[in-house]
Structures are given as C-alpha cells and as structure tokens.
C-alpha cells in the first residue's frame, strides 16, 4: 500500500509536470486542482505573503507563465516527511524558460533563463494548504544583465545531486531517514551555533566531507570543500552576524532517505555588525533571514548542501532596495 508521503510526492511531481503545458488561460484550472481554496503562499520579496488561491494564481503563477511562455519546471530534489504532525513535500531545482516579457520589474532578456527555486508545501486532505517559496531573484537579475553585489564565490547554474538520485519517488527507509535527520540536527545545534566563538569551534569536520559542495544563492555564490566554505562564505558570514541564532524557528525540518530539508520564516535572527559580507559596510542593525536548506548525506557525513536565502528581502531590512535600484538602473556590472 502506498504511503501518504509517497502519494504527496507524486501529487507535487504531477503539478510540476503540468506547468510545462500551462499558459495564461489554463494555469488557473491547473493550479486549482492541487490547492485548497484558502491556501496561503509565503513567498520571496516582492511577492511576500499571499492569501487565497485566486491571489496566489494572479500574483505569482500567471505573471510567471506570461513572462516565460515556454516555462518548464525541473526539480532535482523532491522529498516528503512530517514535522510537528504536519505533512510536507519539498522540492528544489530550476524553472527554465525564455524570458520574453518583463517580470516583477526585471526587463526581459529574450534569452533562456534558469530560475532557481525552492518550495515547501504543507499538505492537508490531499491538497496544498500552505506553500513556502523562495526564488533566487538576484540570479535572475544577473542573467538579465544586472548585478548588484560583488560576490566572494562564483555564481553558477547550480547543479542537482552528483548522485542523480534526488527525486525520491519511492518509499523511504525509516532507519536512513532517522540517521540523516540526526546528523543535520547535530550539525545545527551542536556545531554551527558555536561559531560565535570562532570558526574552529564549529568542528565542521564532524559533519561534512572534506570536499563537500555548498551551493549558495546569488550574491554569495558556491564553494567547494571545508576551506572554501570557510574562506568564501562562513567566515565573512560569522564576522558579519556574530550573535545570530538559527534553527529555533523552523516551519519545517525532516529527512527522506539520505536527504534532509529545512526552512524557517525567518529561521535566522541576528545583528549585522560586521563589514564585508554581501559587499556592504557594517550597518549595526537587527535583521532576520528567510532560508531554505537541502542536504545530501553520504555514509556518515554531509556531501552536498543547497541553500536559498531571500537576499533581496534581507537587504531591504538594511534600507537597500534592490528593486528600486533596478528601476533606476543603478547597478554594478562585473
């Protein structure tokens, strides 16, 4: 007998497949088959919070398929689980389409565009009651010719798992799931939180493979290995946000086989007191951060980590309005 998690995964996979055939006329009916009428979408800036299926369709889905008429949704991770008695499905990957019409004030490039996304769906009675959605807006802007942040690490078209097994359309192994989740929770609560007293206190080697891959969002970039992670992301991040607290406000955190996922809204709270991270001086302001993570475990260590952060919304808290700069064509090209 099919488990509820497997049914939920197949439902989200089916919805993703339907988007390839949707257009501005059909998208509403396609979406309504999968969402509760009173569903809520917690989105990226400038979408933010949207309530009700009609508003979700009109605010996000219709503009998206209008701007990218040949849109295809390619997920490279799809997994399901339970958190605080709620059933969840999460996916990450790329929407891929030709950027034909302007989207959210981003001028259309007329070129193929990879729109990196992450989503968590809460399922109730066989339909989506809540969606948490992040899109790497800085990377969409970069592909359209607009760049605002001098990243420390390379910005790349982020690949899926090196093992090509991230679409978990099968029943997961209970033992593997528990082992995977425990590793990430130990890493969050016993490792990363110690970083306020220095990177060496984190003991990253206890959780990560020496050559692990870390795939960050636009504005940060991607790194390889523990040294690369420390030099080009975690070091500047810890310096900028030494008092940060994360992991305590997760909306969802679960494992499926050797994959683990989490999201918080926000999942990080801190004071931005250090200079350098995101290429900005120390603003000395309280901030929060919308984050999504997916990890792949290999044996007893983490081998890959995909991270999305709503960087545009984060900068807005520091009075840096990326969309205003975009409209005024105040940007950096490198």
Q: Would you say 235 and 152 are in contact if contact means Cβ atoms under 8 Å apart? A: no
Is residue 49 in a domain? yes
What pLDDT is stored for residue 204 in this prediction? 86
Higher-confidence position of 10 and 198: 10
Residue-number span of the structural domain to which 98 is assigned: 4-144
What confidence tens digit (pLDDT) does each residue in 169-218 have?
987 778 999 999 999 999 988 765 554 545 555 578 999 999 999 999 99
Q: N- to C-terminal Cα distance for the chain?
A: 55
84 and 201 belong to one structural domain = no
Q: Which of 45-49, 69-73, 91-95, 197-201 has the lowest mean pLDDT?
A: 197-201
What pLDDT is stored for residue 332 in this prediction? 63
Q: What is the mean pLDDT of the chain?
A: 92
Q: How far apart are CA 259 and CA 168, in angstroms?
A: 9
Tokens representing 198 are 């220095």
pTM of the predicted model over 0.85:
yes
List all residues 6 or more positions away from 204 whose beta carbon is below 8 Å from its beta carbon: 191, 226, 229, 230
Q: How far apart are CA 216 and CA 10, in angstroms?
A: 28
180 and 274 belong to one structural domain = yes
What confidence tens digit (pLDDT) does each residue in 124-138 have?
999 999 999 999 999
What pLDDT is stored for residue 270 in this prediction? 93
121 and 212 belong to one structural domain = no
315 and 187 belong to one structural domain = yes
202 and 258 belong to one structural domain = yes
What confidence tens digit (pLDDT) does each residue in 290-302 have?
999 999 999 999 9
Please determine, for residue 306, whether its predicted confidence score (pLDDT) is greater than 50: yes
List all residues 6 or more positions away from 146 whose beta carbon is below 8 Å from its beta carbon: 106, 326, 331, 333
Question: Do you find a cis peptide bond into 329, omega within 30 degrees of 0?
Answer: no
What confidence tens digit (pLDDT) does each residue in 252-299 have?
999 999 999 999 988 889 999 999 899 888 899 999 999 999 999 999
264 and 139 belong to one structural domain = no
Q: Would you say 223 and 314 are in contact if contact means Cβ atoms under 8 Å apart? A: no
Is residue 225 in a domain? yes
- Residue 112 pairs in a beta bridge with 98
What pLDDT is stored for residue 72 in this prediction? 95
Is residue 169 in a domain? no
What pLDDT is stored for residue 334 in this prediction? 46
119 and 202 belong to one structural domain = no
Segment 74-93 shows an average pLDDT of 97
Instruction: Look up the CATH number of the domain holding residue 37.
Output: 3.10.450.50
3-class SS of residue 27: helix
Please determine, for residue 90, whether its predicted confidence score (pLDDT) is greater than 50: yes
229 and 111 belong to one structural domain = no
19 and 125 belong to one structural domain = yes
Is residue 153 in a domain? no
What pLDDT is stored for residue 249 in this prediction? 79
List all residues 6 or more positions away from 289 whose beta carbon is below 8 Å from its beta carbon: 246, 266, 267, 268, 269, 270, 309, 310, 314
Segment 71-93 shows an average pLDDT of 97
Number of domains comprising the chain:
2
Nearest alpha carbon to residue 152 among 224, 222, 199: 222
3-class SS of residue 109: coil
Q: Would you say 132 and 263 are in contact if contact means Cβ atoms under 8 Å apart? A: yes
137 and 39 belong to one structural domain = yes
What pLDDT is stored for residue 25 in this prediction? 84
What pLDDT is stored for residue 307 in this prediction? 98
- Return the beta strands (E) in 141-248 as ranges: 208-215, 222-224, 245-246
What confidence tens digit (pLDDT) does each residue in 218-251 have?
999 999 999 999 999 999 999 999 998 876 678 9
Q: Would you say 96 and 25 are in contact if contact means Cβ atoms under 8 Å apart? A: no
42 and 180 belong to one structural domain = no
Please determine, for residue 1, whether its predicted confidence score (pLDDT) is greater than 60: no
What pLDDT is stored for residue 193 in this prediction? 52
């Amino acid at each position: 007998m099919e488990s509820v998690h497997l049914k939920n995964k197949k439902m989200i996979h089916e919805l993703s497949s339907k988007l390839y055939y949707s257009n501005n006329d059909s998208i509403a009916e396609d979406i309504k088959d999968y969402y509760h009428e009173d569903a809520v979408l917690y989105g990226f800036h400038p979408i933010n919070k949207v309530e009700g299926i009609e508003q979700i369709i009109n605010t996000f889905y219709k503009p998206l398929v209008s701007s990218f008429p040949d849109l295809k949704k390619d997920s490279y991770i799809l997994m399901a689980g339970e958190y605080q008695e709620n059933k969840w499905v999460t996916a990450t990957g790329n929407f891929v389409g030709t950027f034909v019409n302007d989207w959210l004030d981003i001028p259309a490039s007329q070129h193929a565009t990879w729109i990196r996304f992450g989503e968590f769906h809460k399922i109730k009675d066989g339909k989506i009651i809540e969606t948490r959605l992040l899109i790497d807006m800085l990377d969409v802007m970069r592909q359209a010719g607009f760049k605002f942040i001098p990243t420390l690490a390379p910005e790349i078209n982020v690949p899926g798992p090196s093992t090509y097994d991230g679409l978990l359309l099968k029943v997961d192994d209970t033992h593997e799931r528990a082992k995977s989740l425990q590793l990430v929770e130990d890493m969050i609560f016993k490792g990363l939180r110690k970083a306020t007293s220095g990177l060496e206190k984190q003991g990253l080697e206890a959780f990560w493979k020496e050559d692990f891959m870390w795939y960050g969002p636009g504005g940060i970039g991607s790194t390889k290995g523990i040294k690369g992670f420390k030099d080009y992301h975690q070091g500047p991040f810890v310096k900028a946000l030494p008092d940060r607290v994360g992991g305590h406000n997760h909306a969802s955190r679960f494992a499926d086989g050797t994959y683990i996922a989490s999201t918080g809204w926000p999942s990080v709270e801190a004071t931005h007191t250090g200079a350098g991270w995101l290429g900005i001086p120390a603003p000395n302001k309280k901030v929060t951060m919308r984050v999504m993570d997916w990890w792949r475990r290999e044996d007893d260590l983490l081998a890959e980590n995909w991270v999305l952060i709503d960087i545009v919304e984060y900068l807005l808290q520091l009075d840096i309005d990326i969309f205003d700069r975009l409209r005024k064509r105040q940007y950096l090209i490198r």
